[in-house]
Structure 1
């Protein structure tokens, strides 16, 4: 039985839901940052026997797996400590704040020799797996263009429940870090190539936001961004991210080849998906709930089998390189 400690009572709840559905794993600890009442409520719901506000408790010998769902600025330190103690590690995206720190985490993972995963869960949706297979099998001919879009409204309006997301020193970036890293990883994974950023532009929609309690929060990370990238082989990619599209949520990837085009669209909330293609007989739909739990494949990763969907920390580093390049400029403030 794999015994897990989950760090972070925000998106950590999703990890608890995934782990609860794994008979070979159990969570024994939830580490929270500020709100003990919320953490205790979540722990009760998912049957976690212990909560703590001290991250050092997660490194106890009672736990084999460290799940990092804390703010990005904490990832590297926690990951390296856990790896140094021989624990398996799952880390939310982005892997760290910078390419340099991501490289350090990758070296620590290689030295530890234990399974590790960056949480790029969209690899585990069968629609994107089918897209990857179609590209790999050559059913599109030579891929000449990729277009990736991730639109969401979790920060539509001037209020925010995530103060740390608006400070680059804590979040690494804005929409490029929230959504863009998923697209950067899907781009690399589905095409089998690593891309370079040719140009990027972004904007801040609300330079001053407010917390739920009414306190002002300076908005210093991008709410909207677009990127132009290119592979070593010359394939062009356009990537757009928005976290302020009121009432609209969509994750879409389109691959255009010399012989055919395929487009995948998935609802980020329900994971309902659709694939449309000019290849005869290749259209498909997937119902709500089609995103697979990433943990069963990961927990089986020490049995000798390999699953191409598992994004290890080197995949996190590859996406980090694109993220850092995309967010290197200062975003503009959108005029009213």
Structure 2
């Protein structure tokens, strides 16, 4: 495919801005990537949609995704979680590649339908776990795959935010189980589970069992008028504000993961630690250009600034020491996804999470919810049977 790839984008909020920015930056810093035509922006509100299309650089707008999936080469599905399945499946059946934001779906059954559609498709079907594309995370994977940490023993991950500390923070679709599926678990925990699989899955094996606790601290939240001043109603919060879980890996390694949207003082604190028989590493998203590494005979951690030209993706940007930001991860993601679309690579892309990866994460999320409900360890199986039954 030599013509510019036409992209349709469903959604123009937070994630819409992130991905549209990535598409605009891509030819400047990744000149070997396919040319892209930001073709159609999709949303419900025609007035807001028109303004967003002008701002984000899309030539056309549509209020129905069904009118678009046959007319573009790739669909970026950035809609709320309950709208991930139907448009993505329709696009794949039409021969249109899909990059769908995480979590893959609001329910395990929808995720299963999506991965089945991806299996039958002859185009890439990918899930947007953008933190795979932090250069320091890619560098960490190199170290682990090279054996520098030895046999993996433990994985720890936390994702803490504070945007819901105030009980008067406004209600959004992310607080509704029908729209979101879960709260901090799916919104934040999905990233942590994906990194566990991405970084140590080949070494510690699959996550086999989980035990967990989920908690909602504020049972209802206000809906405000258009001016954002007067409360018009209160709506129930039907998802978790925070979760904690224990993980058991196939090789005997153990893990602990947690997430909260009510952790005062934490804005976007995604931190992981991995410990092996020969070394350890630590990473924090709030210091995303750094990786703390301990190997060999070192008596303490070394802080590595991952900005050298030889570091993953870093050579496409600035001289060493000129740090990257959160938004660059989406550029890196599209730099891997779009060449596969142009080449007609089926089903998945090596560096980008596939729908199968997204489904595997969804199975862990579902098991965590089930374990919290039962108050016991649960096996990560399709039928979510209790471990040991």
Partner of 1:242: 260
Matched-pair contact (CA < 8 Å) for 1:106–1:314: yes
Q: CA deviation at 1:104?
A: 1.7
1:319/1:133 CA distance change after superposition, 3 Å = same
Structure 2 counterpart of 1:310, from 352, 365, 371: 352
- The residue correspondences of 1:286-297 to structure 2 (distance < 5 A) are 286=306, 287-289=323-325, 291-292=328-329, 293=331, 294-297=333-336
Q: Which runs of 5+ in 1 are unaligned?
A: none
Comparing 181-190 and 282-291, the one that deviates more: 282-291
- Distance in 1, matches of 2:281 and 2:272, equals 8
SS of equivalent residue, structure 1 residue 327? helix
User: Would the aligned equivalents of 1:72 and 1:172 in 2 still touch at CA under 8 Å?
Assistant: yes
2:17 is the counterpart of 1:13: yes
User: Which one is further off, 178-187 or 293-302?
Assistant: 293-302
2:157 match: secondary structure: strand
Distance, in Å, in 1 between the alignment partners of 2:139 and 2:254 is: 21
Structure 1 Cα separation of the partners of residues 126 and 96 of structure 2:
12
Aligned to 2:282: 263
For 2:284, what is the secondary structure of its paired residue? strand
Q: 1:200 to 1:106 in 2, by over 3 A?
A: same
1:51 match: secondary structure: strand
Question: What is the match of residue 39 of structure 1?
Answer: 49
> Does residue 198 of structure 2 align to residue 158 of structure 1?
no
Residues 117-158 of structure 1 deviation map (CA, whole Å, 9 limit, x = unaligned): 100000000111122222221111211100001111233322
Question: Which stretch has the larger CA shift, 44-53 or 114-123?
Answer: 44-53
Q: Within 5 Å, give how 1:217-256 maps onto structure 2.
A: 217-248=235-266, 249-256=268-275
Q: What's 2:305 paired with? A: 285
CA distance in 2 between counterparts of 1:156 and 1:68 reads 29
Return the alpha-carbon distance in structure 1 between the equivalents of residues 164 and 294 of structure 2: 35
The answer to whether 1:274 aligns with 2:298 is no
Distance 1:188 1:278 in 2: 21
Q: Is the 8 A contact 1:204 1:331 kept in 2?
A: no
Residue in structure 2 matched with residue 195 of structure 1 by the alignment: 207
Instruction: Give the Cα separation in 2 of the matches to 1:314 and 1:162.
Output: 32
CA distance in 2, matches of 1:130, 1:49: 38
Q: Deviations over 1:234-279 (max 9, x none)?
A: 1101001011223412111100112211111112xxx733211222
Cα 1:220–1:330, aligned 2, differ >3 Å: closer, same or farther? Answer: farther
Q: Structure 2: state its 5+ residue gaps.
A: 28-34, 226-230, 307-322, 376-389
Shift of 1:161: 5.2
Question: 1 CA distance for matches of 2:16 and 2:245?
Answer: 29
Aligned counterparts, 1:81-120, within 5 A: 81-120=90-129
1:87-130 deviation line (CA, Å, top 9, x unaligned):
01010111112222212211211211101210000000011112
**Cα RMSD, aligned residues only:** 2.3
Residue among 114, 135, 139 paired with 1:130: 139
- Number of residue-to-residue matches in the alignment: 327
- When residues 160 and 13 of structure 1 are mapped into structure 2, their CA distance, relative to the original with a 3 A threshold, is farther
Report what 1:4 is aligned to.
Answer: 7
Specify the SS of the correspondent of 2:120.
helix
State the TM-score, normalizing by the size of structure 2: 0.78
CA 307–83 in structure 1, closer or farther in 2 if over 3 Å, else same: closer
The answer (yes or no) to whether the contact 2:123–2:344 under 8 Å persists in 1 is no
For the 8 Å contact 1:221–1:331, the answer to whether it is kept is: no
Change beyond 3 A, Cα 1:120–1:14: same
d(CA) in 2 for partners of 1:91 and 1:70? 9
What residue is the counterpart of 1:27 in the other structure?
38
Query: Cα distance, 1:36 vs. partner?
Result: 3.5
1:66-105 deviations in Å (ceiling 9; x for gaps): 1111111111111111111000101011111222221221
**What is the CA distance between 1:52 and its match in structure 2?**
2.5
